[in-house]
Amino acid sequence: MPTPSKPALTIGLVLDTSLDPEDGVQQYVVAMGEWLRGQGHDVHYLVGETTRRQLPNLHSLSRNVSVKFNGNRTTIPLPTSRKKLRAVLAEHDFDVLHVQVPHSPFMAQRLVLAASPRTVVIGTFHVLPYGWASRRGNRLLGSWLKPSLKRFDRMLSVSSAAAAFARTSFGIETTVLPNVIDCQRFHDAKPLTEYQDAKLTILFLGRLVPRKGCLVLLRAVAQLITRQDLPEFRVVICGKGPLLARLRQFTTQNKLTGIVEFKGFVSEADKPRYYASADVAVFPSCGGESFGIVLIEAMASGRAVVLAGDNPGYTSVMKPRPDLLFAAKNADNLAKKLAYYLQNRAARQKMQAWSARYARQFDVAVVGNQLLDIYHQALRKRRQA
């Protein structure tokens, strides 16, 4: 509960897109929101069109349309009624609006510009564009958002990669405050019964789209099956997407069907048990990652060596252990690292223990308390002014 020196706040977490998906930014908003609520704060979710997510104080403020961005599908809001936004602001008298950035000129910008002068506005950059079209589009968006950007009291980024994007595309300096997970939930998860045998388990968890790199992993595995010096292992692929048919075809053509399992989409509830079942978790993404929350989730289990593609977002997370990075799109490089950790039990145990310790700094309680300090500092400054 809030201490007398830090009273309960009314906080609006603002996200233009839908809160229904379970992508990184949605996970951040929900994890942080529910932790803040647990500390006694009055938390509201001010979001784009959301129909499936069930949370207290969820305000679905716009109609959204689907678009392709950064190699994935997402949604953006259609122009939202200013009257509707002003009514929400008047009813709840927010101390803080915390906006997930870049935001839309059609919803969040209108909300920010209508906010009371007493309301603190905080932003967090989550995006690292993938491809020239996304980068160019965000530069144009930065010009469109200038009216609301002037109203922000403090700007944050989830990683140094996101901070570099904020600087180059928006001309904004930010403070890095990382993405969050509930470490305990992953650490306490039990391995799935079907994987509690003598075989080692290599895990991929992510969307089956080209930039996530699952095909790179399968190409590396195709090299490993020719070796006689490796222990018996399996590869578990969790995820869905347009690349599935090609991945299945590659598996058949390269005689990997006895090794590779396609598990389909894995829910947030089941995800910790898959991480707990892995000896090595591989995330071969080649770009478009602002942070890499999946890396921290896998680390928090304390059971998996985490190998990551060398892209800016993942590199920022793996900075203390660059030896766990491999050249993105380079199956030979990945095959060598996989072979090393499959062969070397002591090396696996050392990295598993390090990962569990390292992940603790990203726990929602650790980062949440830092975020609350930022809220209160900004409130004091704004209200003294």
The arithmetic mean of pLDDT across residues 250-275, rounded, is: 96
160-182 burial by CB neighbour count: b if 16+ within 10 A, else e?
bbbbbbbeebbebebeebbbbbb
pLDDT at residue 318 is higher than 60: yes
Do 154 and 34 lie in one domain? The reply is yes
- In this structure, the number of other CB atoms found within 10 A of the CB of residue 243 comes to 18
291 vs 57 pLDDT, higher one: 57
Q: For residue 224, give the 3-state DSSP assignment.
A: helix
What value does the mean pLDDT take over residues 296-319? Answer: 94
What is the distance between the alpha carbons of residues 250 and 305, in angstroms, rounded to a whole number?
A: 25
Position 24 scores a pLDDT of 85
Residues 142 and 241 in one domain: no
Domain that holds residue 164: 10-180+363-384
Residue 136 has pLDDT above 80, yes or no: no
The residue type of 354 is W
- Residue 5 reports pLDDT greater than 70: no
Token pair 């069109």 in the structure block, residue: 49
Q: Let me know whether 333 and 372 are in one domain.
A: no
Between strands 120-125 and 154-157, the pairing is parallel
Residue 4 lies in a domain: no
| Domain containing residue 43: CATH number | 3.40.50.2000
User: For residue 264, is pLDDT > 80?
Assistant: yes
Q: Tell me the per-residue pLDDT of 234-254, one tens digit each, with 9 for 90 and over.
A: 999 999 999 999 999 999 999
Q: How confident is residue 261, by pLDDT bands cut at 50, 70 and 90? A: very high
- The confidence score (pLDDT) of residue 194 equals 96
Q: Taking residues 370-381, what's their average pLDDT?
A: 97
* Averaged pLDDT, 282-306: 92
Question: What is the arithmetic mean of pLDDT over 190-204?
Answer: 97
Q: Check residue 132 and give its pLDDT.
A: 46
When pLDDT is averaged across residues 140-159 and rounded to a whole number, the result is 85
Is pLDDT of 72 > 70? no
Closest by CA to 316, choosing from 145, 176, 173, 138, is 176
Mean pLDDT of 125-148: 65
Domain count, the chain: 2
Does 198 lie in the same domain as 148? Answer: no
Let me know whether 141 and 223 are in one domain.
Answer: no
Q: What percent of the chain is predicted at pLDDT more than 70?
A: 92
> Is residue 1 in a domain?
no
- Within this chain, do residues 136 and 176 fall inside the same structural domain, yes or no? yes
Chain mean pLDDT for the chain: 91
Confidence band, pLDDT 50/70/90 cuts, at residue 68: low
d(CA 144, CA 309): 34
DSSP class of residue 363? B
Helix locations, 122-191, DSSP H: 132-144, 146-149, 160-170, 183-187
Q: Is the pLDDT of residue 344 over 50?
A: yes
Residues 14 and 83 in one domain: yes
Residue 3 falls within a domain, yes or no?
Answer: no
Which segment of 132-146, 247-261, 371-385 scores lowest on mean pLDDT? 132-146
What is the mean pLDDT of the segment spanning 134-163? 80
Q: Is the pLDDT of residue 263 over 70?
A: yes
Does 278 lie in the same domain as 164? Answer: no
Query: Strand 200-205 to strand 154-157: parallel, antiparallel, or no bridges (unpaired)?
Result: unpaired
Which amino acid is located at 327 in the chain? Answer: A
Q: 64 with 206, same domain?
A: no
If asked whether residues 166 and 32 sit together in one domain, one would say yes
Please indicate, yes or no, whether residues 95 and 215 belong to a single structural domain of this protein: no
Burial call 129-151: b when 16+ CB within 10 Å, e when fewer: bbeeebeebbeeebeebeebbeb
Structure tokens at 79: 């122009």
Of residues 379 and 22, more confidently modeled: 379
